[in-house]
């Protein structure tokens, strides 16, 4: 009995020492370290790879948005100056004998110097002739293109078809083109030069 009494306490002691080894060298300690290492690794990946990539994507998106906005704005401005030059050309060169004085006087509102002075001088001879000889002019602009568009200055090339009728005579048509220079004054585009080309 005394041997079993001594053996029995020894067996549990051996079992405890065997069980103590896994507790001392078990997975919890490396797992805790691996979590810390993983946390540091992910922080580095985020700091050195993800954030710069995200910043690059955002910068590219901002640049693309700016380009599209600028492009759209420039296209809208080009369309505006083309319309002003086309409509202005029609107004400058179209009149009926009964209303020529009012029509050409109203057209002067679309102009600025130096062309305003030239056009005013020209109409002084056109108006009496149109009234006396019953001259009518019908003008259209079948095509126009912006040569250059800046903030307050633009040049547009217009292609003009003008049909002139004198009294009861057959009308005569004259196709031509003109270089129209525009200046923006007070937020409004005005014709500053009108040069046949």
pLDDT at 22: 46
Contacts of 97 (CB under 8 A, 6+ apart): 130, 131, 133, 134, 135, 136
Q: What is the phi/psi pair of residue 187, to 5°?
A: 80, 5
d(CA 187, CA 4): 112
Q: What is the phi/psi pair of residue 112, to 5°?
A: -140, 170
CATH class of the structural domain 80-196: alpha beta
Q: How is 143-193 classified by DSSP, letter by letter?
A: EEEEEEE-SSEEEEEEEEEEEEEETTSPPEEEEEEEEEEEEEETTEEEEEE
> Long-range contact list for 187-193, CB < 8 A, 24+ apart?
189/80, 189/81, 189/84, 189/154, 190/110, 190/111, 190/112, 191/84, 191/85, 191/88, 191/92, 191/110, 191/111, 191/112, 191/115, 192/111, 192/112, 192/113, 192/114, 192/115, 193/114, 193/115
pLDDT at 197: 87
pLDDT at 29: 46
pLDDT at 74: 82
Which pLDDT tens digits describe the chain residue by residue (197 residues)?
444 444 544 544 444 444 444 444 444 444 444 445 555 666 665 556 666 666 666 666 555 555 554 455 588 899 999 999 999 999 999 999 999 999 999 999 999 999 999 999 999 999 999 999 999 999 999 999 999 999 899 999 999 999 999 998 999 998 999 999 999 998 999 999 999 98
Sequence spans of domains, the chain: 2-60, 80-196
Residue 24 vs residues 21, 30, 169: alpha-carbon distances, Å: 5, 11, 118
Q: Is 123 helix (H, G, I), strand (E, B) or coil?
A: helix
Cis peptide before 114 (omega within 30 of 0): yes
d(CA 148, CA 27): 75
pLDDT at 27: 45
End-to-end CA distance of the chain: 131
């Amino acid at each position: 009995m005394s041997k079993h009494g001594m053996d029995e306490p020894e067996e549990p002691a051996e079992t405890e020492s065997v069980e103590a080894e896994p507790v001392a060298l078990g997975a919890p300690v490396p797992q805790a370290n691996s979590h810390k290492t993983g946390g540091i690794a992910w922080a580095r990946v985020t700091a050195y790879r993800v954030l710069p990539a995200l910043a690059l994507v955002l910068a590219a998106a901002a640049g693309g948005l700016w380009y599209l906005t600028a492009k759209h704005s420039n296209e809208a401005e080009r369309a505006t100056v083309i319309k002003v030059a086309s409509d202005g050309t029609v107004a400058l060169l179209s009149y009926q004998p009964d209303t020529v004085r009012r029509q050409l006087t109203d057209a002067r509102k679309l102009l600025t110097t130096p062309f305003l002075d030239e056009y005013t001088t020209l109409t002084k001879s056109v108006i009496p002739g149109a009234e006396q000889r019953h001259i009518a002019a019908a003008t259209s602009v079948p095509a126009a293109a912006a040569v250059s568009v800046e903030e307050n200055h633009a040049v547009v090339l217009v292609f003009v078809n003008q049909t002139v009728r004198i009294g009861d005579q057959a009308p005569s048509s004259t196709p031509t083109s003109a270089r129209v220079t525009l200046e923006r004054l007070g937020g409004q585009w005005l014709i500053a030069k009108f040069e046949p080309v």
